[in-house]
């Protein structure tokens, strides 16, 4: 069931999303050669808790699986999503996807961005640019009375026209009362199909784009998702609100 949020609920979601956006920009400012992904995680958790909020990812589990051990997902190069922060030191030329969720007043916000570390290759720069642009192209379709897969189609069409592939085993989602709600929002699909979009829906739209093939695998840690062919991957995400006009991006400072 796709939830329609009340004004009060939207205000709570907006507050969590603002902390998400601030956290991402703070972590981005520290994302440099030589920094460990664990250091970035600690910066994020300290800031989130200073806002009287809770890191939504820490301890999160899927079914009966092991809980995620950190506040950030830090996914480097061929890691698509759910990378676990640790001792890895960022190197010149790396890509890193930084994904963060926040819970405050029992409502959630969720967003992600990808950063190039130091001097990155032309292909990595293009991958970041196309992935981010595809997110905004998808968001443009998130208007009342459109269909859900209008978002999916727009993302897929733009990404594939630029020579990259969208991950098909992972998707965006509703967000608000829960970190993951209905509907699932794939980054590929047929235009004009899927559930009707309505005012008051809050959605996390998140293209995950590979420079090579779209297939992915799960790492031995049972969390990290990697490209099957070892190619680079980028990831951008915003939580948005469907209104009676243009969509509102909630995860901005």
pLDDT digits (tens, 9 = 90+) for 141-192: 999 999 999 999 999 999 999 999 999 999 999 999 999 999 999 999 999 9
Tokens of 27: 């972590």
pLDDT exceeds cutoff 80 at 206: yes
Q: Nearest CA to 212 among 78, 91, 92? A: 78
Tokens of 215: 């297939």
Tokens of 102: 């926040």
Confidence of residue 203 (pLDDT cuts 50, 70, 90): very high
pLDDT for res 64: 75
Tokens of 114: 């990808």
Tokens of 19: 């902390």
Domain membership of residue 91 (yes or no) is yes
pLDDT for res 129: 98
Q: Which residues, 6 or more positions from 13, have their beta carbon under 8 angstroms from its beta carbon? A: 5, 107, 108, 109, 175, 176, 202, 239, 241, 250
Domain membership of residue 1 (yes or no) is no
- DSSP 8-class letter at 8: H
Torsion of CA 64, 72, 45, 43, to 10 degrees: 160
Confidence of residue 62 (pLDDT cuts 50, 70, 90): confident
Max CA-CA distance within the chain?
Answer: 48
- Using the structure block, give the residue that is written with the tokens 């209008």: 150
pLDDT for res 108: 98
Q: Where are the beta strands (DSSP E) in 186-237?
A: 202-205, 208-210, 216-218, 225-227, 233-235
Tokens of 138: 């998808």
- DSSP 8-class letter at 90: P
Domain membership of residue 131 (yes or no) is yes
In the chain, the number of structural domains is: 1
Domain membership of residue 2 (yes or no) is no
Q: Nearest CA to 236 among 78, 37, 43, 100? A: 100
Domain membership of residue 161 (yes or no) is yes
Domain membership of residue 51 (yes or no) is yes
Domain residue limits at 121: 7-249
Rg (CA), the chain: 17
Domain membership of residue 86 (yes or no) is yes
Query: Helix axis angle, 148-161 relative to 122-140, nearest 10°?
Result: 160
pLDDT digits (tens, 9 = 90+) for 31-48: 999 999 999 999 999 999
pLDDT exceeds cutoff 80 at 63: no
pLDDT for res 65: 80
Contact 145, 196 (CB under 8 A): yes
pLDDT digits (tens, 9 = 90+) for 216-236: 999 999 999 999 999 999 999
| CATH code for the domain of 207 | 3.90.230.10
pLDDT digits (tens, 9 = 90+) for 88-144: 999 999 999 999 999 999 999 999 999 999 999 999 999 999 999 999 999 999 999
> Strand 165-166 vs strand 107-116: parallel, antiparallel, or unpaired?
unpaired
C-alpha to C-alpha distances, 92 to 31, 46, 117, nearest whole angstrom: 11, 26, 6
């Amino acid at each position: 069931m796709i939830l329609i949020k009340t004004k009060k609920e939207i205000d709570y979601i907006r507050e969590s999303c603002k902390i998400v956006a601030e956290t991402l920009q703070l972590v981005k400012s520290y994302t440099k050669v030589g920094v460990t992904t664990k250091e970035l995680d600690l910066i994020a958790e300290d800031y989130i808790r200073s806002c009287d909020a809770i890191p939504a990812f820490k301890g999160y589990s899927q079914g009966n699986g092991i809980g995620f051990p950190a506040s950030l997902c830090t996914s480097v190069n061929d890691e698509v999503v759910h990378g676990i922060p640790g001792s890895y030191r960022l190197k010149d030329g790396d890509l890193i996807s930084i994904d963060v969720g926040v819970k405050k007043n029992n409502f959630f916000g969720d967003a992600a961005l990808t950063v190039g570390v130091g001097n990155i290759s032309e292909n990595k720069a293009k991958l970041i640019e196309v992935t981010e642009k595809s997110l905004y192209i998808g968001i443009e379709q998130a208007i009342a009375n459109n269909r859900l897969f209008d978002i999916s189609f727009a993302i897929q069409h733009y990404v594939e026209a630029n020579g990259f592939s969208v991950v098909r085993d992972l998707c965006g989602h509703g967000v608000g009362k829960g970190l993951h709600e209905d509907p699932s929002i794939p980054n590929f699909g047929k235009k004009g199909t899927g559930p009707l979009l309505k005012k008051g829906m809050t959605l996390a739209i998140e293209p995950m784009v590979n420079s090579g093939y779209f297939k992915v695998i799960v790492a031995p840690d049972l969390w990290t998702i990697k490209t099957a062919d070892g190619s680079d991957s980028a990831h951008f995400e915003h939580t948005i609100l469907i209104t009676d006009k243009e969509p509102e991006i909630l995860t901005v400072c």
